[in-house]
Amino acid sequence: MRSRAIYGLAGKTLVAEERAFFGEAQPWGFILFSRNIEDPAQVAALTSSLREIGGDARTPILIDQEGGRVARLKPPHWRARPPGARFGEAYRNDPSMAREATYLNARLIAAELIALGVNVDCLPLLDVPQSCAHDIIGDRAFATDPSIVIDLGRAQIQGLLEGGVLPIMKHIPGHGRAGSDSHLELPRVTAGAEELSAVDFVTFRSLDSCPMAMTAHVVYDSIDPQRPATTSPKVVRDVIRGEIGFDGLLMSDDLSMKALDGPLNVRAKAALFAGCDVVLHCNADMDEMKDVAREAGTLEGASLRRAEHALSLLQPPRMPFDPALAEIRVAELLGGSV
């Protein structure tokens, strides 16, 4: 049985200690960062070795490949992709062309990932940034208008799925008002529940069929002033599963971020108790991963059902699709080079 955890790894190849730990812990999946990436052949060999550990060709291997400033795959081996805001700007001129560009760009991202053995991307970002917020979201978001975020988010989900890659919508139920970077400290949002529902939550509610979602390490004072969404049973039950209606696989954002406090086993236990199906640990610190593993347990019940449903959506890329022509078309749609 798989455990309720996703782990990062330290370098470009697995070391013996990692092989032993992952073999025993049997995580549901893995996540790659820039530290794990050198060139296409190396990444493909790494993902193959990760799948050998679990003995399952479907083992989820995640990456944050958004475009713009959040991209683990970079030139010269991989093409730089535009940030989300570029598609939102195009939408204001021609919604249909922007939807097409978003879809094709997602297909191009998926094609690069599939060639490496990566089958999950941490997209779409459905946060709606506000003027008072920290720039950690900024141009990563499509727009400040929820309707545009919904429309382009739907196109991005379709492009990834039809490209053979699972999407993860983030950061549920919304990071757009956060006044600080949750990598560094715990943000608090003071907006009322009605305003959050109309602006922040609506994007996730409208795309609740997305197979996976990642939580926000954000406190919403009007809902649960004591705990961030990741560790709040009230936010998960009443907002994410309730008001938003999301019944896909819910994973935490990185447990090692400074927005959370306490030992890693306590953080993992709190996130799972709150209702996360799977917890994410990214920094590859072996002692921390062992702490998480002590609380992760095995996927079962509703969490197992959601995980299996997500994996059932992994399909071979929809054809025909010509990456070279798609690159040209995206550039045309966005009014120049991308």
Residue numbers annotated as active site: 183, 253
Q: How far apart are CA 129 and CA 33, in angstroms?
A: 25
Q: How far apart are CA 216 and CA 41, in angstroms?
A: 34
Contacts of 329 (CB under 8 A, 6+ apart): 100, 101, 104
Q: How far apart are CA 69 and CA 140, in angstroms?
A: 8
- DSSP tag of 319: S
Q: Is 275 exposed, middle or buried (0-12, 13-18, 19+ CB in 10 A)?
A: buried
CB burial readout 215-228, b (16+ within 10 A) else e: bbbbbbeebbeebb
Q: Is the peptide bond before 225 cis (omega within 30 degrees of 0)?
A: no
What angle do the packed helices 40-54 and 95-116 form, to 10 degrees? 70
Locate tokens 């929820």: which residue? 146
Contacts of 82 (CB under 8 A, 6+ apart): 67, 68, 105, 334, 338
Q: How far apart are CA 237 and CA 91, in angstroms?
A: 34
- Listed in sequence order, the DSSP H helices in the chain are 16-25, 40-54, 84-93, 95-116, 146-162, 193-195, 202-206, 233-234, 264-274, 286-296, 301-312, 323-333
Whether the CB-CB separation of 91 and 107 falls below 8 Å is answered with no
